[in-house]
């Protein structure tokens, strides 16, 4: 019987929400699925995953997996994938690094960044965006084992389905290259704001904010009063106004929040590719011909230096009254 192995993403022992999208993919594919948890001190993540309807939650808990290193993880994931038709991850930084390594070890075809899946007669067809999302290709993978990375913005986060999946231990596999790769550090940007890829509300700024100070004094007050994550266009990142981990777009992060507010962003096709699936899009730009207005549900043609502080104050007032 065809079966899917979903590889969970875990950080510091906690399950990342990105995993929920890979589980949604497995459910849409219509095949039974198991979940593999690989890490160290992952008991809490395992217990959380038992409620999602997997046939089993397989666990590789070893000190070697305390920090993600692709060369160390790939051999164990590849060994655990034996007997499965599909290995699925979310197309996060973790999935994008791990999946090609696993595919190469298994001699498997790889469908990356897929936006949809259809099952017919036991055959899976994948939809994959091309040309910055302007076209969708339908593809099939013909190898005995398939490796798939699913876009988080295209697959709704799965909800627990009840029950308690059994837990099975998986042995760690020696990684020949591990001795040549050393984990040095993970320099995470600490923030009290929601994580960009998982936030329900995102407020993004463009080059029109003119400086890092512009982001700090104009955009950040709106971000904070909205309880939002902050994003940015590539132009703003390249100009050094904000760190590159805030970049939204084809070469940055792909997001699909309930509300996306684009401030001073013209709407280059590369940026639109990273946020066009947001449920509601609001654009603020002084140029009435800006391409972003063609996509926006609500548009305001105005000077952002006047409009954004007014919007911030209006939101503060509503929250104070509520």
Cβ(32)–Cβ(55) below 8 Å: yes
Tokens standing for 36?
Answer: 């593999």
Does some domain include residue 169?
yes
What CA–CA distance (Å, rounded) separates 80 from 172? 9
Does some domain include residue 187?
no
What burial letters (b/e) apply to 107-127, b meaning 16+ CB within 10 Å?
A: ebbbbbbbbbbeeeeeebebe
Cβ(61)–Cβ(8) below 8 Å: no
- 193 torsion bin: left (phi>0), alpha (psi -120 to 50), beta (else): beta
Handedness of CA 254, 216, 294, 235 (dihedral sign): negative
Does some domain include residue 185?
no
Please check the confidence at residue 128 and state whether its pLDDT lies above 70. Answer: yes
pLDDT tens readout for residues 105-115 = 999 999 999 99
In 3D, which of 8, 70, 3 has the Cα closest to residue 32? 3
- The pLDDT score that the predictor gives to residue 129 is 87
CA angle 19, 21, 25 (to 5 degrees): 120
Give the mean model confidence (pLDDT) for residues 301-312.
Answer: 97
Whether residues 68 and 172 share a domain: the answer is yes
Whether residues 71 and 138 share a domain: the answer is yes
Window from 150-159, 164-173, 290-299 with minimum mean pLDDT: 150-159
Q: Which of 180, 208, 229 is the last residue of a domain?
A: 180
**Rounded mean pLDDT of the chain?**
93
Whether residues 106 and 206 share a domain: the answer is no
- The pLDDT score that the predictor gives to residue 250 is 87
pLDDT tens readout for residues 68-91 = 999 999 999 999 999 999 999 999
Residues 6 or more apart whose Cβ sits within 8 Å of residue 192: none
Binned at pLDDT 50, 70 and 90, residue 25 comes out as: very high
Whether residues 13 and 72 share a domain: the answer is yes
Binned at pLDDT 50, 70 and 90, residue 132 comes out as: confident
Q: Which of 146, 180, 214 is the last residue of a domain?
A: 180
Does some domain include residue 90?
yes
21: Cα separation from own chain's centroid: 8
Does some domain include residue 34?
yes
Does some domain include residue 24?
yes
Whether residues 228 and 146 share a domain: the answer is no
In 3D, which of 84, 45, 31, 60 has the Cα closest to residue 168? 60
What CA–CA distance (Å, rounded) separates 83 from 42? 24
CATH number of the domain encompassing residue 101:
3.40.50.620
pTM value is 0.83
The angle, 0 to 180 degrees and rounded to 10, between the axes of the packed helices 18-29 and 93-106 is 50
Whether residues 160 and 295 share a domain: the answer is no
End-to-end CA distance of the chain: give it in Å, rounded: 54
Does some domain include residue 175?
yes
Whether residues 156 and 223 share a domain: the answer is no
CA angle 143, 32, 167 (to 5 degrees): 110
SS3 287: coil
Q: Which of 156, 180, 204 is the last residue of a domain?
A: 180
Does some domain include residue 190?
no
What CA–CA distance (Å, rounded) separates 282 from 121? 42
Please check the confidence at residue 1 and state whether its pLDDT lies above 60. Answer: no
Whether residues 81 and 204 share a domain: the answer is no
- The pLDDT score that the predictor gives to residue 266 is 95
Whether residues 137 and 62 share a domain: the answer is yes
- The pLDDT score that the predictor gives to residue 189 is 66
Whether residues 100 and 174 share a domain: the answer is yes
Domain of residue 238 covers 196-321
Q: Domains in the chain: how many in total?
A: 2
Whether residues 151 and 269 share a domain: the answer is no
Whether residues 130 and 228 share a domain: the answer is no
Q: How many helices (H) and strands (E) does the chain have?
A: 10, 17
Choice between 182 and 59, residue whose per-residue pLDDT is larger: 59
């Amino acid at each position: 019987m065809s079966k899917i192995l979903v590889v969970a993403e875990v950080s510091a022992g906690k399950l990342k929400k990105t995993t929920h999208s890979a589980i949604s993919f497995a459910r849409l594919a219509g095949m039974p699925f198991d979940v593999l948890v690989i890490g160290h001190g992952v008991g809490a993540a395992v217990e959380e995953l038992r409620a999602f309807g997997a046939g089993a939650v397989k666990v590789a808990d070893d000190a070697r997996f305390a920090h993600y290193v692709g060369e160390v993880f790939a051999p164990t994931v590849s060994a655990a994938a034996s007997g499965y038709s599909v290995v699925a991850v979310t197309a996060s930084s973790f999935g994008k690094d791990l999946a090609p390594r696993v595919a190469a070890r298994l001699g498997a075809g790889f469908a990356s960044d897929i936006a949809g899946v259809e099952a017919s007669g036991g055959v899976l067809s994948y939809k994959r965006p091309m040309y910055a999302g302007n076209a969708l290709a339908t593809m099939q993978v013909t190898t005995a084992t398939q490796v798939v990375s699913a876009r988080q913005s295209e697959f709704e986060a799965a909800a627990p389905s009840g029950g308690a999946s059994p837990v099975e231990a998986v042995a760690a596999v020696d990684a020949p290259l591990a001795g040549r790769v050393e984990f040095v550090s993970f320099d995470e940007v600490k923030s009290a704001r929601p994580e960009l890829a998982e936030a329900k509300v995102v407020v993004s700024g463009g080059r029109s904010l003119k400086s890092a100070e512009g982001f700090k004094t104009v955009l950040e007050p709106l971000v904070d009063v909205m309880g939002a994550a902050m994003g940015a266009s590539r132009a703003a990142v390249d100009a050094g106004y904000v760190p590159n981990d805030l970049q939204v777009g084809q070469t940055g992060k792909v997001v699909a929040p309930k509300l996306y507010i684009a401030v001073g962003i013209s709407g280059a096709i590369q940026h639109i590719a990273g946020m066009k699936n947001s449920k509601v899009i609001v654009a603020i730009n002084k140029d009435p011909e800006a391409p972003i207005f063609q996509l926006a549900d609500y548009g305001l043609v105005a000077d952002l230096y006047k409009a954004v502080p007014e919007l911030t104050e209006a939101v503060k007032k509503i929250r104070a009254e509520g």
